[in-house]
Structure 1
Amino acid sequence: MAEVEDDPGGPNHQEEEQWEERSLSLLRDSKMDQELSAAKKKKKPASRGKKHKMKAMQRPTVMTETILEFFEEDLRESAIRYLSNYLLEKREEDLDNYHHAGFLMFNSCATMCILLQEIVVFYMRMVPDNLDVRPIKRLANVLTLFQCVAANDETREKFVNSGAPNFLIPLILFDSEIEIFDYARSVALSVIGILCQGREPTILQWAIKSNIVEACHTIIQNGSELNQVIAMHILEAILQDSIGISYVCDPIHNSLLSGLMKTWDDLVTLLAADQETSPRLLFHVIRCYLILCSHDRGYKTVRKSLPDAITNGSFDKMTEEFPVIRALLHQLLLSVGREVEEPFSCEQVLLPLAEGKNIRLQTCARSALSSESTTPICLGSDRVIFLPSTPFG
């Protein structure tokens, strides 16, 4: 079996794009993130770089043969790398085979134990002087296989019930200045994001009990831009479910909600000062504010604590460049009763819940506004709540 060698050097620009694709591409709405990032960099969306040519993997039995090589210690590293690279290349064009690989890995004897053993072995290296590029890339390849298991509808909940995702939390929270480890952290975060984005009650309850919200808060405070974006994806998925938003807005967890608001306030202030930093982070922060507005306590908190930079036109230049952010910002301002310069029409939208129900949100229409008025007239409610009606990704 031909091996696909990793470049032992540090990450260059092309490799940075490949890491971003590896961690973001399976998350819902991630296409919008990539487009916002690409537009800001004045280039096309992230390319995949040079694809690995693995024609041998097209043979029907080669995937199972590769998984069996995990049991041979001297073959394990190359087999894991080989399979993870193949899945990265093929997951969009051959989604059925990608999901089949996740099913095989989870249900084949002892395979998950071997992958967890790889993570535990990495734990022993988690001191700054013992980390180098090769074991970090080996870890990232294992996490890429976990993505595959998490993305499969048949294995996702069993994967969570097995306790395996809990092994990722120390990796997410580990403090390291090595750049390549930060990319591996983004893959670990994306596994959690893939698990949570389906908003299945059992998985969300696991996420809450495992302090995933608090872990995401830590990443948003201290993480890189890519990790902050993925953490915001996870928070959005949790907040869009009644279980998650009730947890965050519960008075018992007052410090959590106030801490998130403070962190978002600091982030918005930073983005207002340097608008070249990350339009997609602003996009996600505004979405989180909007989602919180669907909860009574969350609405009151957002209305009371909305950053000045959101309301004083600091982002006018950015919103001109990115209409989707302008639409979200207008929705937020209308939701909290602030004036907007150009009220816009929007259709009634539904906020889906994991239970299969929908919350019908009140909206306002341009026709309900007088030509002189800049304050929205609400239709059927004294509180106007908006969520994006445009499909993102």
Structure 2
Amino acid sequence: MEEGLRDPEPQEEEQPWEERTLSLLQDSKIDQELSGEKEGKKWGKKHKVKWMKRPMTMPQAILEFLDEDLRENAIRYLSNYLFEKREEDPDNYYRAGFLVFNSCATMSVLLQEITGFYVKMVNETLNVRSIKRLANVLTLFQSVAANGETMQKFVDSCVPNFLVPLILFESKIEVFDNIRAIALSVIGILCQGREPSIIQWAIESDMVEVCRTIVETGSELTKVIAMHILEAILQDGFGISYVCNPICDHLLKGLIETWDKQISLLAVDQDLSPRLLFHIIRCYIILCKHDRGYVIVMNSLPDALTNGSFHEVMEEFPVIRNLMHQLLLNIGKTVEHPISSDPVQVHTVKEKMLESGLCIYDSVPTNAMVPKLIAHDQVTFLPSSLQCY
């Protein structure tokens, strides 16, 4: 039996929203590395919890969702419990997703919470309490999306589609951006497994355009999560074929234009988001595996990536430098600054590239180009000196 759920203190400290969103994505460790090195610190502390006077088990908490008087607290208890125990007790985390989805009327109750939030959005009656209440609901959706037994059923129920208005809604309340981040993370968790049926759902639900919009207008955190989703879609054969199809020309051109704007912003303020730069470069590399994507990238690559504007960033983050050299080699651009062969530096780069599922160089690149795997099912042309693991 799982441990008793704990009751949060009345006054909660600021929650580590990145830990509740981005860190749930499988390939986010490199983001933590890039962010941690730049800021000199890791995630914030988890919010404190204390024992409830009467311990509740997980099924009992879920049953209390049906009682309107107990619902808000019960959802908060379970949400905080899952947040605290996600890494420590993954079995119960996945079990919670299964119970939430399959218990009687629970998904209907949670969907009612979302539609009720819609009303407040329209009436402009949102407040911090209602935003945190919905954040707890979305945390439960994260556990449903992460469970392999409920993931596809969750998508088939169309409940994730109700998150799109939350993602695109503009609010003057600053903490609302946390709702956008958690809602995006639910989509990211669904897409990260790159199941063909789920990627197809994401495309049919216009998630490419949704993510493009967030990359253009969102906060740094939401932009990075949106890039994770775009990467997952582009790494799927159907996904990249759809985006690069001339019939959907507006999608590819929209992405290229948005990334170009972001590159221009990052070139001016390079402290803004090294991890966003990392993901944009990686998306360029993924596009190079498609014939039309390759041509578009070759003809539309921002000048800032080739004129040395990011020299300081690449010196500070070797993982970005190696990725940048890989991109330039793929499209036939000249590499002005060869990768250092310093053994200590290369060893550090290797560790970070391997953690992100990418390849690295063992020596100064040559002109010999051969097809190699980059990550997962991703194929492109790389120097023969590049080793893939």
Tell me if both proteins adopt one fold, taking TM over 0.5 as the criterion: yes
Tell me the equivalent position of 1:354.
Answer: none
Contact 1:196 1:203 in 2 (8 A): yes
> For this pair of structures, how many residues does the alignment match?
360
What code does the residue aligned with 2:23 have?
Answer: S
Query: In structure 2, do the counterparts of structure 1 residues 363 and 72 end up closer, same or farther at CA, with 3 Å as the change threshold?
Result: closer
User: 1:192 deviation in Å?
Assistant: 0.2
Tell me the equivalent position of 1:377.
Answer: 368
Q: Cα deviation per residue 1:322-363 (whole Å; 9 max; x = unaligned)? A: 1111111111111111111215799xxxxxxxxxxxxxx999
Q: Cα deviation per residue 1:274-330 (whole Å; 9 max; x = unaligned)? A: 001000000000010010011111011000000001011111100111111111111
Mapped to 1, the partners of 2:27 and 2:231 lie a distance apart of: 11
Pairing 1:239-388 to 2, within 5 Å after superposition = 239-340=234-335, 341-342=337-338, 366=363, 369=366, 376-379=367-370, 384-385=381-382
Q: Cα deviation per residue 1:46-95 (whole Å; 9 max; x = unaligned)? A: 133343244789x7x71000000001100000000010000000000100
What code does the residue aligned with 1:23 have?
Answer: T
Tell me the equivalent position of 1:15.
Answer: 14
Aligned with residue 154 of structure 2, among 132, 155, 159: 159
Contact 2:7 2:52 in 1 (8 A): no
Query: In structure 2, do the counterparts of structure 1 residues 162 and 368 end up closer, same or farther at CA, with 3 Å as the change threshold?
Result: closer
Tell me the equivalent position of 2:352.
Answer: none
Tell me the equivalent position of 1:112.
Answer: 107
Q: Cα deviation per residue 1:213-261 (whole Å; 9 max; x = unaligned)? A: 1100110111111000000000000000001101110100111101110
Contact 2:330 2:382 in 1 (8 A): yes
Aligned with residue 46 of structure 1, among 43, 46, 53: 43
Query: In structure 2, do the counterparts of structure 1 residues 114 and 316 end up closer, same or farther at CA, with 3 Å as the change threshold?
Result: same
**Partner SS state of residue 213, structure 1:** helix
Contact 2:339 2:364 in 1 (8 A): no
Query: In structure 2, do the counterparts of structure 1 residues 327 and 141 end up closer, same or farther at CA, with 3 Å as the change threshold?
Result: same
What code does the residue aligned with 1:30 have?
Answer: S
- Structure 2: runs of 5 or more not aligned: 347-357, 373-379
User: 1:266 deviation in Å?
Assistant: 0.6
Tell me the equivalent position of 1:353.
Answer: none
User: 1:367 deviation in Å?
Assistant: 7.8
- The two structures, once aligned, show a CA RMSD in angstroms of 2.6
**Partner SS state of residue 313, structure 2:** helix
Pairing 1:84-163 to 2, within 5 Å after superposition = 84-127=79-122, 129-163=124-158
Q: Cα deviation per residue 1:121-148 (whole Å; 9 max; x = unaligned)? A: 0000004731110000000000000000
Mapped to 2, the partners of 1:260 and 1:6 lie a distance apart of: 44
Mapped to 2, the partners of 1:55 and 1:129 lie a distance apart of: 34
Query: In structure 2, do the counterparts of structure 1 residues 321 and 55 end up closer, same or farther at CA, with 3 Å as the change threshold?
Result: farther
Mapped to 1, the partners of 2:365 and 2:82 lie a distance apart of: 51
Mapped to 2, the partners of 1:362 and 1:378 lie a distance apart of: 15
**Partner SS state of residue 3, structure 1:** strand
Mapped to 2, the partners of 1:368 and 1:37 lie a distance apart of: 28
Query: In structure 2, do the counterparts of structure 1 residues 380 and 109 end up closer, same or farther at CA, with 3 Å as the change threshold?
Result: closer
Mapped to 2, the partners of 1:362 and 1:172 lie a distance apart of: 33
User: 1:15 deviation in Å?
Assistant: 2.4
**Partner SS state of residue 175, structure 2:** helix
Structure 1 stretches of at least 4 aligned residues deviating more than 6 Å after TM superposition: 361-365, 388-391
1:232 aligns with 2:227: yes
Contact 1:290 1:385 in 2 (8 A): no
Q: Cα deviation per residue 1:351-389 (whole Å; 9 max; x = unaligned)? A: xxxxxxxxxx999985873xxxxxx222379x7248x97
User: 1:32 deviation in Å?
Assistant: 1.4
User: 1:30 deviation in Å?
Assistant: 1.1
% identical equivalent positions: 61
What code does the residue aligned with 1:25 have?
Answer: S
Query: In structure 2, do the counterparts of structure 1 residues 368 and 132 end up closer, same or farther at CA, with 3 Å as the change threshold?
Result: closer
Contact 1:363 1:378 in 2 (8 A): no
Mapped to 2, the partners of 1:37 and 1:332 lie a distance apart of: 22
Q: Cα deviation per residue 1:178-228 (whole Å; 9 max; x = unaligned)? A: 111101110000000000000101111111111011100110111111000
What code does the residue aligned with 1:3 have?
Answer: D
- Structure 1: runs of 5 or more not aligned: 9-13, 347-360, 370-375
Mapped to 1, the partners of 2:154 and 2:302 lie a distance apart of: 39
